[in-house]
Amino acid sequence: MDVLSSQPSYKAGLINKKQESCDLVDGARVIRLGLPAEAGKPIVRMVNALRLGFTILWMAVIKNSYDVIMVSTSPPVLAGWFTALASKLSGARFVYHCMDIHPEIGRISGEFRNRWVFSLLLRLDNWACTQANPVVVLSDDMSAALSVRSNSCLPITKVINNFGLPSEDVDAESLPFLWPRDTFVILFAGNIGRFQGLDFLVEAMAKLSHRDDICLIMMGEGTEKERLQHKVNSGGANVTFVGHHSVGVAKLAMKQASVGFVSLIPELYRYAYPSKTMTYTVQGCPVLVAAEPDSCLVMDVVENEVGISVNNGHVDELVEAISTLAGDPDKVIRMRENALSFGSKEYSEGQVLDKWSTLLKHEVVN
């Protein structure tokens, strides 16, 4: 098995240790391309995507022969299109793992606001989806979003959600920052970006600033972090930013938190499913989710009684939800037990990998 990737570069502000350009990891040969940093550089980003795409064609069509070729949605659209083309030319089975659905997400973010660009990318990705057997998505909402793209040729889809994030090393035994004692702690762990719509969470905490027994810890980095920090400093909310930490540290924080916060801006639930949800539940952390009530995300949390939900942007509703949970420790304990049971059953690494193993052994029929 071969894996084509780039050098570690997920977080621009972190020290990413350079790895071997080609080595063996758990029996798989990993080839890493040395692509230049692309954050804030759209031309470099496009060149990187094209370089990756042509490397896929070279490896799959000319250099090697594969039975199955699988790609995820990074970089969006072009990685899927090049892999679909390579699979068609080589006769390999194509599996398209859509962690997010593009270019629709780019339209919401404004990245693909130009209607001609959006139309071209939609055509490319739609063709890639119709070539896949199957397109693997994270929720029924995402599957439905693909099905409404075209009436002529519906893609074959399969829902397999992610498992809780595994630790790169041994789980942490202690936290590298001060953890509040005898306090109802809300934890947000993950990317602090525009898709989360976190302003209303900070505004809700400002309204709860008189409650010394309630605090929010924001763990992570992102484009919105600096602005939200300024908003916190000017509003007097009981919010602490602790920066980026390892998965092991994040998991320990989740085990200690009273509740984990998950949110999506309106309409985004159709095209994405926050993977932090699975990691929260596997650690037995109850979930406070802010999204549309008819979304799979909310229904998974509410119907399995692993947490509660509010509508994103409704500050007073969020204030009431936090206050209610802080005043009902027995309910939090019940949700914690439910989260641990549900996470272990649905989102453990073994459970999810078994689904992938079955999928790769058998082609999917709609």
Q: Which residues contact 135 (CB under 8 A, 6 or more apart)?
A: 96, 98, 129, 146, 155, 156, 157, 158
DSSP string, 134-161: -EEESSHHHHHHHHTS-SS-PPPEEE-P
Specify the pLDDT at position 292: 96
pTM of the shown model: 0.90
Tokens of 31: 């080839």
pLDDT in the model for residue 164: 87
- In the β-sheet with 135-137, what is the strand arrangement from edge to edge? 68-72, 93-97, 135-137, 157-159
Q: What is the pLDDT of residue 12?
A: 53
Neighbour count for residue 349 (Cβ, 10 Å): 13
Residue 326's pLDDT is 97
Q: Helix, strand, or coil here: 104? A: helix
Going by C-alpha positions, the residue among 6, 7, 1, 4 that lies closest to residue 28 is 1
* CB contact at 8 A, 131 and 94: yes
Fold of 184-346: Rossmann fold (3.40.50)
Using omega within 30 degrees of 0 as the cis cutoff, is the peptide bond preceding 8 cis?
Answer: no
**Spelled out in words, what is the top-level CATH class assigned to the domain 35-162+349-361?**
alpha beta
Cβ–Cβ under 8 Å, residues 79 and 53: yes
Q: What is the pLDDT of residue 167?
A: 67
CA-atom Rg of the chain in angstroms? 21
CA proximity to 125, closest of 79, 63, 174: 79
Beta-strand ranges (E) seen in 112-236 are 135-137, 157-159, 184-189, 214-219
Residues β-bridged to residue 32: 5
How far is it, in rounded angstroms, from Cα 206 to Cα 58?
A: 55
**Residue that the structure tokens 């084509």 belong to:** 4
Cα–Cα distance measured from residue 314 to residue 300, given in angstroms and rounded to the nearest whole number: 21
d(CA 289, CA 163): 18
Cα–Cα distance between 147 and 157 in angstroms, integer? 9
Q: Where, residue-wise, is CATH 3.40.50.2000 in the chain? A: 35-162+349-361, 184-346
pLDDT tens, position by position, for the chain (366 residues)?
998 988 876 555 555 677 888 889 888 899 888 888 777 777 888 888 999 999 999 999 999 899 999 999 988 999 999 999 999 999 999 999 999 999 999 888 777 778 898 999 999 999 999 999 999 999 999 999 999 987 667 899 999 999 987 766 556 678 999 999 889 999 999 999 888 999 999 999 999 999 999 999 999 999 899 999 999 987 777 999 999 998 899 999 999 999 999 999 999 999 999 999 999 999 999 999 999 999 999 999 999 999 999 999 999 999 999 999 999 999 999 999 999 999 999 998 999 999 999 999 988 766
